[in-house]
Structure 1
């Protein structure tokens, strides 16, 4: 028996592959022998021997009439049984569900602009920010699509609609989870605005329900409360400060709203937000209360100064911490 090429499995449906296999590989008789096209990485194996025994040579007389049809079908059936032994060793489930990350990135770039980057990056924080290290609940799981009505998520429906357009196009080619899509979109938003390139691992599964409410840090917290809130999510003070640097883009007033740089830290070192004549803090002209709270803590202030002086260090640390953020609480696909 002759073994040559079988194309590598490209479909997730074993039944459709079986059909194409039988139609393309069972070639009928040739000099009284059945020729199979199959991938073989070397010499004759136990599977070859089994085929030789099962597909005994038939003469021309035996291959005629109804008996010929019966023999042919028997051979097709036996081929299907032995197919797993003929194929080279491979994780078929993984091959069938493999992602092409470039398709996801391209789909995101088609809908993303610098003006929309801050909203998309905020979407990442609000999806992943529900993670609780104590019980492993929440995290980067796409549940944000069920949570847009919460006060802390006001305005995020716009970013979800933007990414929804990308998802529709991507899904026509390969299915993508909301969690993967949002994680990739945040990285693309950073890069689009001049920040570091961030690799994103793919394979997140989506939640089918909303995460528990009240898991995001409130905007009125002081530095001590912020540090505690981030520690419950598995982040150190340094990681909290570097993630806060994402406020360098958007409408919070730290440098250019469409340039990802270390202006956030430089502005924090320049002074406090404006206050009213009564001494009560008015709405900050720049940033949030939590941004300025960082300058009131010695440990946070040390990292603010480091990043204000060294943008390359900020970029490197932001990249690493972003990866940790979008991997928090993830349920990964398995083969």
Structure 2
């Protein structure tokens, strides 16, 4: 696992762009790497994990926890979160105090203390129901922790248990440093994926929480056909862009999260590409006489473009993992507001 404290430069466009390299310093202990980047610079990454940034909601001083391979030019140092100071177009901001006071490994460890494979699907579902309220037209909703006010809504049935699990983690983390619900849920979802054997996903930190519930009716309904699903994803900012994936591809790859949990797609505790393999089975399979999955899962098979990606991911799990990592990163940054130092 890699832990990266990464300041980002505000973008002039809502659409997401990949990041350019910057110098850094890091401390490596086993697989853990803690890195502090220069203030005012973008994080060093390639297209494997781009850093989506919502318009007008950036700060120089946001941090990130990365649970994937770092593509930085680093040199080892024992001191935690040392900051390389580089001149940039923006006024200089000293990141040392912010980096020192926000240790991503504390959040990860807090989540790991309460998370298990049988709880992973519910925790991952929290991410989709918090971030999935984002509406690009008015920039409402998104990854803002408002799910804590929305647990009694019909579409969020069952999520109270997952919130209770993360509340326990939050109480422990807050004894050391404060963590927002938005950051906690984003990290917990990534940890749930990794725990079940899925890809390790870098998570940018520094999200602010909403103090109110998001508007109702923003989540896609389980009965939507594929045309309505595409429209719904388009409203959430999932559209074609050269630095990430296309709307249909992102919709299909994120639906692959149903591979874990009780929807009947293979091993409920294994994050793999079984979801896509099951969708290709003819006739439509059942589990103990009960239908597998949701109507929206099978709606994907009725669209040629979706079916093309289902076939690709059914044959290539590594491709599924890489694309899921990118789409998840985009999802948990959607609509987020970011803290300053």
Match of 1:323 in 2: 329
Match of 2:269 in 1: 258
For the structure 1 residues 185 and 334, does the alpha-carbon distance in structure 2 shift closer, same or farther, using more than 3 Å as the test?
Answer: same
CA distance in 2, matches of 1:93, 1:126: 34
| TM-score w.r.t. length of structure 1 | 0.69
Matched, 1:242 2:266: no
CA contact (8 A) 1:203 1:332 kept: yes
| TM-score w.r.t. length of structure 2 | 0.68
What is the CA distance between 1:304 and its match in structure 2? Answer: 0.3
What is the CA distance between 1:96 and its match in structure 2? Answer: 7.5
What is the CA distance between 1:187 and its match in structure 2? Answer: 0.1
Count of residue pairs the alignment pairs up: 240
Secondary structure of the residue aligned to 1:246 is helix
Match of 2:279 in 1: 268
Deviations 1:117-167 (A, max 9, x none): 000000000000000011111000000000001000000000000000000
Match of 2:132 in 1: 129
Match of 2:307 in 1: 301
Which structure's residues are more often strand, by fraction?
A: 2
CA contact (8 A) 1:141 1:204 kept: yes
Matched, 1:143 2:146: yes
**RMSD of aligned residue pairs (Cα, Å):** 1.7
Query: 5+ residue gaps in structure 1?
Result: 1-88, 276-282
Match of 2:230 among 227, 230, 233: 227
What is the CA distance between 1:271 and its match in structure 2? Answer: 3.0
The aligned runs of 1:169-184 (5 Å cut-off) are: 169-184=172-187
Match of 2:297 in 1: 291
From the CA coordinates, give the structure whose radius of gyration is larger: 1
For the structure 1 residues 272 and 164, does the alpha-carbon distance in structure 2 shift closer, same or farther, using more than 3 Å as the test?
Answer: farther
Match of 2:108 in 1: 105
Could you list the runs of 4 or more consecutive aligned residues of structure 1 that deviate by over 2 angstroms after TM superposition? 89-98, 271-275
CA contact (8 A) 1:272 1:292 kept: no
Deviations 1:264-302 (A, max 9, x none): 000000035479xxxxxxx95210000000000011000
For the structure 1 residues 130 and 94, does the alpha-carbon distance in structure 2 shift closer, same or farther, using more than 3 Å as the test?
Answer: farther
Which structure's residues are more often helix, by fraction?
A: 1
Match of 1:168 among 171, 176, 198: 171
Secondary structure of the residue aligned to 1:270 is coil
